[in-house]
Structure 1
Amino acid sequence: MADLDRVLVLAGGMSPEHEVSVRSGRRVAESLRRLGVEVQTADIDAALLDRLRTDPPQAVFPVLHGASGEDGATAEVLQLSGVPYVGAPPSSCRIAFAKPTAKALVAQHGVPVPRGVTLPKSAFHDLGAPALLERVVARLGLPLFVKPDQGGSAFGATPVDSVESLSAAMVSCFAYGDRAVIEERIEGTEIAVGVLDLGEGPFDLPPVEIVPDGGVYDYAARYTPGRTEFFSPARLPEETSRAAAEAALTAHRVLGLRDYSRTDLIVDGAGRVRFLEVNVAPGLTETSTFPLAVEAAELDFSRVCRDLAFNAFNRGRAD
């Protein structure tokens, strides 16, 4: 690792997940410095391209969540700048960031998914919201879950238990995007499975069971210490854990992801695992599930960050 001594951590961005990104970036930077790596931090702004040109780092570790961070834009910019970086290539980011597309591709490879529909805001305006929502409930039943087709950290995501609450959920969803994913809500155990590739191929990390105080894993439950109880490894039968691991590895491979990812799953009362969505730049804060999984795997988080940056550096040297 002696050759790796200068890494740029990108964090912040303009999405609603800005603060989470800053916290994730701070933790990655501190972890790399702990192992003697010189680290600089930066946001996505007008000075970035000049900085990459005049003082290119050996590798970039983007920790940007939401639009521009996970939709492939940052990866495209880094490729245009000729700078190696941690994370998936642009095309894979775009596919994974579009939740309905990722869901459809994963389902084609045998991973069960919740039934659902994806509708643009314009459809409710053109066809009439009450009539359209009535058709949705007739098709999918209740309860439901509504979320934007892009983005994370539960922004615009709402559980729905009645026809009356569905309309309000749609309004909340459209505040964060122009397309809504409406799915049947599976009652069960929510888990997150990380996938890591340190150079010898992707492998699954122990599943993390998520038990939020109040039952809903919203933004506050995700990032407020004490609001959610985590169990890692999850309290699941071995067979169910294997199915969850295979679902996460399938998503990682099918979507063409690289270095690391996190797949969100739900396990119903019968032990059946269903895919919800995948994250190409999972949160790395003190309350995020990916670092918890790294710890459960008895890996050192600092060394994992360094190895990911080093592998990106090596890719750059090989190009």
Structure 2
Amino acid sequence: MKFLAITVSGFEDICQKELKEFGAKKTNIKTGCVIFELNKSKIVSLIDLGQSFSKIIEIWHTDKFTSLSSFRTIKNIRINIKPTKTFLVRCQKIESKYSSHEIEACVGENIIKNLTKTGFKPKVSTLNPDIHVFTYVTKSEFFLGQDLTIRDLSKRKYRVFVHPASFRGHIAYCLLRFSGFKPGKRLLDPNCRDGIIPIEAALFSKGKSKKSTIEATDPFIKNILIAKKNAKIANVKINFSKQDFDWLETHYESNYFDFIVTALPSPTKYNQKRIKESYKTLFESVSEILKQNGKVAILVRKPELLKQQTKNRFKLIEERNIYVGKERFVALLAKKI
């Protein structure tokens, strides 16, 4: 059967890699999503354990998209909604001039027209529908199907205590895999906030034959406390400690870590000098505690000042744009040389 995994725009290849690890076949990357084939018996396991996506959709129909009239093709397809069942349409769009409400209304109208031809008029339920219909719309095509996840899987259940500058679980996981991290390695997040990156690393490593060492520090004790609580809810083991960037090389042995994965604040016109100094301090410490050829993966909104720090003892391997809604982030990957 064909399915659609909705992921982070810019990290589609990471999602594709994870899907293949779960046995997916004939994967095809699209904007912000991956089409794949998988035995339906394995879908439950994928939804329970997968980390790189927010939703899994069973595809009913896909077609080119130019305007709302493109949804008229829905009238001629087979739709799996029985007379006794209610339904609700939801959508997610990328680079579309139409609002979600317009798309949902148009799709719902065409589904009703389709099923009315078969002899019954389906009922819409906004509170407790039997069938959750989902439409994913890009600039040039749309995908229609049944939402098998219903809730947004990127909103992790363990993340009860949230840092305002943090981000969702599938972004943290994709950044982690972008770094090349594998179970059995040593990883540090030196700016862990609510613990999202180290927790995703611990969940990824859980049950693997090789044991990972996952460390998380933060300059603020408040962040360490909430990160510890989230890790406890997630039932993972992580070593947390409050550390300023300039104390990392004192706290850890030289050449200790294989990977440094984190997200950092971006400079503004009010704090540029302070942020630049913090970047410099962090990379001075990282250059001591990271192994030779060790990797650093960082997510940031404005990468210019950060890239300056990679020129000394680091080689910039990759830079890619990541989009969360309309917001652009930049993921940087560097290697210690």
TM-score (ref. length: structure 1): 0.28
More relative contact order in 1 or in 2 (CA 8 Å, sep 6+)? 1
TM-score (ref. length: structure 2): 0.27
Q: Higher strand proportion, which one? A: 2
